Structure 1
Amino acid sequence: MARENAGIREVAAAAGVSVTTVSHALSGRGQVSDETKRRVKAAADSLGYAPNRIARALRSQRSNLLGFVSEEIATTPYAGQILVGAQEAAAELGLMLMIVNVKRGTIDDPQIDALVAQQVDAMIYASSSHRVIRVPPKLDPARTVLVDAYDPAITSPAVVPDELGIGLLATRRLLEAGHRRIVHLTVDEDVPAVDGRERGYLEAMDEAGCPPVVVRVPGPATAGAGYTAIGRALETDGDLTGIFAFNDQMAMGVYQAVGPDRDLSIPRDLSVVGVDDLRLIADALRPGLSTVALPHAEMGRRAVELASRLPLAKPRRDQVLRLPGRLIERESIRQLGSLPIRDASGGGENPSAGATVTVS
């Protein structure tokens, strides 16, 4: 039967071991056999014993607490996986997360002050979308990990998606399916995701010897933006067969734009790849949308692993960990064949000659 305020000596007596052995068995330190660990844990559980976190923190000079500042990711369906991954990693490492949710762009917030006052070992600051931010000045850069964000003014390590790799992955998938007239639909915004995915697209098209076509429309990257962009793309190149959309919402706009009015269908006439793997969109569209899933859960896990080792001995400004996306295949890509890539641009065209269309 559990006893209120049971102490470590009572656990030691119940398990038939020394107090030191109990401490080592429950903390994972020292040489303790698996059988002894099981016996100590069973005794601790039966007595309702929990180690005194404050006393342990005084001995180790670590609280085993991590602060987690969520910049609206807790209310964003896909980015919320960052928090899931972080919680899983924290549990595995024996750490506890203290989580607060703040508005996008927050610099000063009493919730952040409260976290700092808790003497947490390190902070994780997670953005709801990949962008350059200004870290709140009350956070110590040497003890802060950024997620889905980057602050060039400080030396905090950052965990972000590999945006260039995502652009390469999506475009190469269309190329592998035999498509050579591929357009990239994007928005005219100065954020890392826009720049990186476009550079990945251009690199893939260049290595294939195919002329790129980039259509940029005013942001944000919504279904309406995708609808506008595909209309302009078809005006620019009526022979295109492949579409790499900046995200799933813009891809949904492509679905809305094709139909009886244009006598086009997906994937018969147009093959489409998006980014995000937003289930409410990708699974609901017919045919299902092939898309590149962002590594949100893994980003959360890696952030906790980094935070558990802070402060780093030699912080650097280039500590940016870029994690790859994962292609989720559904039914929006038609296989045209496996034409030799360098022979597909046709008619002696200059492979590097392409078009960039900006809609104001």
Structure 2
Amino acid sequence: MAQRPTMHDVAAKAGVSQAVVSLVLSGRYAGRASEATADRIREASADLGYRTNLQAKTLKTGVSEIIGLVGDDVATSPFSGQMIKGAQDRVWEDGNTLMTVDTGGDSLLEAAAIDTLLSHQVRGILYTAMYHKELEVPEAALETRTVALNARDLSGRIPSVVPDDETGGYEATRILLEAGHTRIGMINIFPGEGIPAARDRRRGYERALLEAGITPDPDLLIAGEGIHSSGQEGARALLGLADPATAIFCGNDRTALGAYQEIAAMGLSIPEDVSIVGYDDQDILRDYFHPGLTTVALPFLAMGERAAALVLDPAAPAETHAIPCPVIHRGSVAPPKGR
């Protein structure tokens, strides 16, 4: 087996000292080596096929260039790809690698994953949830720099990054108010609002109505479960009232798809008879909406980037960072019929 090239070999080929090679390959050469020298070292490294010995580097510094991401169902969530990409791109900018572990919600696997990451002396951990929730981060994770992603740490000991769901619910309702609707229903995504996303989106909906001088009507608020059938049942109930809704804010796009189908089954049209606004902007559902669904997007790419920046900054305070949810305007909103 051929012997691996060493840093000494790179230094000899580039005509510099081993110390300069170390500075350039670690990215700490500003003011100590010229760009021409740095380019020559990188070229020599590439020609020789040299790779940094990360294990030796970890032994020397006491920390590896790895950020761990531990999540409950990140491998199966339709949203996690963008969140992981945002985090991965950001840690890579600083020369780190993201190591992802999906625990499937298994507490024993989670504990083992955190223990393994700590044994690798990771630089930090992103403790991630499949959907926006409030939770307590395991004590073991606090042995290194940890940030809660798509979750709020109830203990307040670490930074948390979440979507700004209340403002998102507010903006969704404002779209319908600005179109001229006053009978606006909402089909929420969780009974009893046991998750922050359901609670905050409803708060935003009610705040927008109150600001417009409209008292929220309990008959126009459907609990829902965030599934297709909730949209069907909710739309039927809201449009069957003595004073029916003329517009519906659906707490997620799956609910909106059910509402679309029920409205069509009733012989009505969107947006001529009923306006609809969704939430999530799920790309896997986007092509099923005719006309296209106006919705509020979850900012997973930006959330991943922010959380990664925070885990790389040990001085950042333990605050909650609510990331804005942008509105995506399409064709499902129009003024009320007759206006």
Q: What is the TM-score of this pair, normalised by structure 1?
A: 0.85
Is the Cα contact below 8 Å between 1:133 and 1:151 reproduced in 2? yes
Return the match for 2:243 from 238, 247, 268.
238
Counterparts in 2 of 1:216 and 1:175: CA distance versus 1, 3 Å: closer
1:113 is matched with 115
Which of 287, 297, 302 is 1:298 aligned to? Answer: 302
How big is each residue's C-alpha offset from its partner over 1:21-61, in whole Å with a ceiling of 9 and x where there is no partner? 21222222132322222111111000111222233334433
What residue number does 1:160 align with? 162
- Residue 22 of structure 1 is matched in structure 2 by 21
What is the CA-CA distance between 1:235 and the residue it aligns to?
A: 3.4
User: CA, structure 1 residues 141+12, in 2 after alignment: closer, same or farther (shift >3 Å)?
Assistant: closer
Distance 1:228 1:213 in 2: 18
Matched, 1:100 2:101: yes
**2:280 aligned partner:** 276
Residue aligning to 1:354: none
Q: Which residue of 1 aligns with 2:331?
A: 331
| Distance in 2 between residues matched to 1:4 and 1:74, nearest whole Å | 38
Once superposed, which parts of structure 1, at least 4 consecutive aligned residues long, lie more than 4 Å away? 214-219
Aligned length: 331
RMSD: 2.3
Q: Distance between the aligned counterparts of 2:244 and 2:224, measured in 1?
A: 26
Secondary structure of the corresponding residue to residue 75 of structure 1: coil
**Structure 2: how far apart are the matches of 1:146 and 1:193?**
16
What residue is the counterpart of 2:313 in the other structure?
309
* Aligned counterparts of 1:93 and 1:173: Cα–Cα separation in 2: 40
Alpha carbons of 1:112 and 1:141: their partners in 2 closer, same or farther (altered >3 Å)? closer
- Partners of 2:99 and 2:28 lie apart in 1 by 25
Secondary structure (helix, strand or coil) at the match of 1:268 reads coil
Contact 1:141 1:155 in 2 (8 A): no
Deviations 1:86-126 (A, max 9, x none): 11112222101222110226365433322222111211111
Amino acid at match of 1:138: A
Contact preservation (8 Å) 2:224, 2:231? no
* Equivalent pair of 2:118/2:144 in contact (CA under 8 Å): no
Shift of residue 248, structure 1, vs aligned partner: 0.5
Cα separation, 2, equivalents of 1:294 and 1:307: 21
CA distance in 1, matches of 2:281, 2:92: 26
Is the Cα–Cα contact under 8 Å of residues 182 and 213 in structure 1 kept in the other structure?
A: no
1:254-269 aligned within 5 A: 254-260=259-265, 262-269=266-273
8 Å contact from structure 1 (residues 283, 289) kept in 2: no
Counterparts of 2:288 and 2:3, CA distance in 1: 52
Secondary structure, in 3 states, of the residue corresponding to 1:273?
strand
1:252 maps to 257
Cα 1:235/1:141, change in 2 over 3 Å: farther
CA distance in 2, matches of 1:67, 1:120: 7
> After superposition, what is the alpha-carbon deviation per residue over 1:214-244, rounded to whole angstroms, capped at 9, x for unaligned?
5454553111112222222223463432211
CA contact (8 A) 2:68 2:126 kept: yes
User: How far off is 1:177 after superposition?
Assistant: 2.3
Question: What residue is the counterpart of 2:204 in the other structure?
Answer: 200
The Cα of 1:151 is off from its aligned counterpart by 2.6
Which stretch of the first structure deviates more once superposed, 80-89 or 107-116? Answer: 107-116
Match of residue 60 from structure 1:
61
Q: How has the CA–CA distance of structure 1 residues 218 and 184 changed in structure 2, closer, same or farther, with 3 Å as cutoff? A: closer
More helix by share: 2
Gaps of 5+ in 2: none
Instruction: Summarize deviations over 1:105-154 as a string: whole Å, max 9, x none.
Output: 63654333222221112111111000122323321166211111123125
Change (3 A) 1:204 1:234: same
Partner of 1:357: none
**Partners in 1 of 2:73 and 2:127 — Cα distance?**
11
Give the drift of 1:4: 4.2
Opposite residue 42 of structure 1, the aligned amino acid is: E
Instruction: Label 1:180 to 1:33 Cα distance change in 2 as closer, same or farther (>3 A).
Output: farther
CA change 1:95–1:325 in 2 (3 A) is: same
Q: 1:218 to 1:272 in 2, by over 3 A?
A: closer
In 2, are the aligned partners of 1:145 and 1:306 still within 8 Å (CA)? yes
Match in the other structure for 1:352: none
Whether the 8 Å CA contact 1:282–1:291 is kept in 2: the answer is no
Amino acid in structure 2 at the alignment position of 1:196: D
